[in-house]
Amino acid sequence: MAEIIEMPKLSDTMSVGTLVTWLKKEGDAVASGDMICEVETDKATMEVEAFADGVMLKHYVPEGGEIPVGAPMCAVGEKGEEAPAVESSAPAPEAKKEEKEEEEEAPKSAAPKDAPKPEGRKQEYVPEEKEAAPAKKSDGGRIKASPLAKKLAEEKGVPLEAIEGSGPGGRIVKKDVLAAAEKGVTAPAKSSSGSAAPVVVPSGAGIAEDEKIKVSNMRKAIATRLVESKTTVPHFYLETEVDAAALLKLRADINADLAELPPEKGGIKLTVNDFILKASAEALRRVPGVNCSWMGDHIQQHGSVHMAFGVAVPDGLVTPVIRDAQAKGLRQISAEAKELIGKARNKKLTPDEMSGSTFTVTNLGMFGVTGFYGIINPPNAAILSVGATIKKPVVDKNGNIVVGQRMAIGLSGDHRVIDGATGANFLQALQTVLETPALMLV
């Protein structure tokens, strides 16, 4: 008898998912434990496991469709068996809607070649084959193309300016891109000098096409959590400046000796963020009152430091967690951070790898941001914001003006849990560790 596989709850906050890809097509053999599809949750893209043996009889959800937790995803049974009928709860994916719209954009039917021409109209010879004309542009100078056509053109490496659109007003649609790709169009037409013809954008042209951008599950979750945090958690802010010269020298010395070695021989390349994570764990050891959470009727003191850190991905920001950071050395923290960053960018983080944090670090220094304050990641009591290290004139201990390397670090704190003095003590401890980085190695 056919088994219906329902949408599982893949994260603690998940209520709906988007089915990205079917890994098992209809008719494929399925064994219990096989991964049958990829689903985008509010936190990551994850694989769903089958719990039955047999053949994939039917997909109840198309690729790109949204599906609530507990709704039927597919049916698995014996070959030739009829799949049970279910009421679909997944709306049509945007890609399918776009294809339908594009079909409607194209002319309904072409007039037969031998169809009589209206009287009074000059008869002109039209060749069967002709070279692609330049893509027509809107009044603002932008190439007219549907969102799906743009996406396909990017995936297939076909320049839109080399495609002739068949849609209304010369708009490029899906079938135009596919036809161009089939013909091997991969670059703009060359000028007589052999160089690519420049695309001239008129002055005053828009920066992008007006369009509605679908909100991903991850972006919805980020929006909900940040609004909740900013409106329910009483934030306060502290900032200090760190002399980063010793830290940067130690990092350069370590990387000079170890960066070129293979991992099996102890090779490692440390980032500034690796030092920040390790230093934060050491500062929390000295000021454990920041490693707490507001629980409504009590404050929870956490005995271990589960360090979350921000990773930018196309849909927003995810915060993977390094467990027991207070018990790990710089090398181990660096290795785990790199592994988690790789998973985050490939949407392979598990819910366990993104939950249970007690403190969060967010670093925008690599983007040249000199200082900022992050929004607290509940139930953490604080978030550390790290800016870029910049060279600036400073007064040394002898009263001389010299070139210094300074890093601004900000702390956003939950005033229900920690007070200004506690936050200041933490920043002072962090400053001490960062300015004496050898403390991280013992």
Active site (annotated) includes residue 415 = yes
Q: What is the pLDDT of residue 397?
A: 86
Q: Do the domain assignments include residue 225?
A: no
Q: Do the domain assignments include residue 229?
A: no
* Paired tokens of 324: 């027991």
Alpha helices in 145-191 (DSSP H): 147-156, 174-182
Query: Mean pLDDT across the chain, nearest whole number?
Result: 83
Question: What is the mean pLDDT of the segment spanning 182-203?
Answer: 57
* Paired tokens of 286: 């000295």
Helix or strand or coil: residue 55?
Answer: strand
Which CATH number covers residue 167?
A: 4.10.320.10
Q: What percent of the chain has pLDDT over 70?
A: 83
pLDDT top residue among 108 and 261: 261
Task: Give me the residue label for tokens 């007070």.
Answer: 419
Tell me the torsion sign for CA atoms 8, 13, 17, 22.
Answer: negative
Quick check: 270 pLDDT over 70?
A: yes
- Domain extent at residue 175: 135-188
Q: Do the domain assignments include residue 328?
A: yes
Same domain, 243 and 349: yes
Which CATH number covers residue 302?
A: 3.30.559.10
Stretch among 140-149, 383-392, 421-430 having the lowest mean pLDDT: 140-149
Greatest pairwise CA separation for the chain in angstroms: 98
Confidence (pTM): 0.64
Q: What is the pLDDT of residue 94?
A: 47
Same domain, 156 and 62: no
Q: Do the domain assignments include residue 87?
A: yes
Q: What percent of the chain has pLDDT over 90?
A: 48
Q: Do the domain assignments include residue 97?
A: no
Question: What is the mean pLDDT of the segment spanning 330-354?
Answer: 91
| pLDDT 10s digits, 384-398 | 999 999 999 999 889
Same domain, 267 and 346: yes
Q: Do the domain assignments include residue 387?
A: yes
Quick check: 104 pLDDT over 90?
A: no
Instruction: Report yes or no: 148 and 100 within 8 Å, Cβ to Cβ.
Output: no
* Structure confidence at residue 254 as a pLDDT band (50, 70, 90): very high
Q: Do the domain assignments include residue 373?
A: yes
Quick check: 182 pLDDT over 60?
A: yes
Query: What is the C-alpha separation between 369 and 407, in angstroms, rounded?
Result: 10
Same domain, 245 and 354: yes
Quick check: 130 pLDDT over 60?
A: no
Q: What is the pLDDT of residue 213?
A: 85
Question: What is the mean pLDDT of the segment spanning 171-180?
Answer: 82
* Structure confidence at residue 428 as a pLDDT band (50, 70, 90): very high
Same domain, 339 and 400: yes
* Paired tokens of 39: 């689903």
Catalytic residue among 59, 302, 306, 415: 415
Helix or strand or coil: residue 164?
Answer: coil
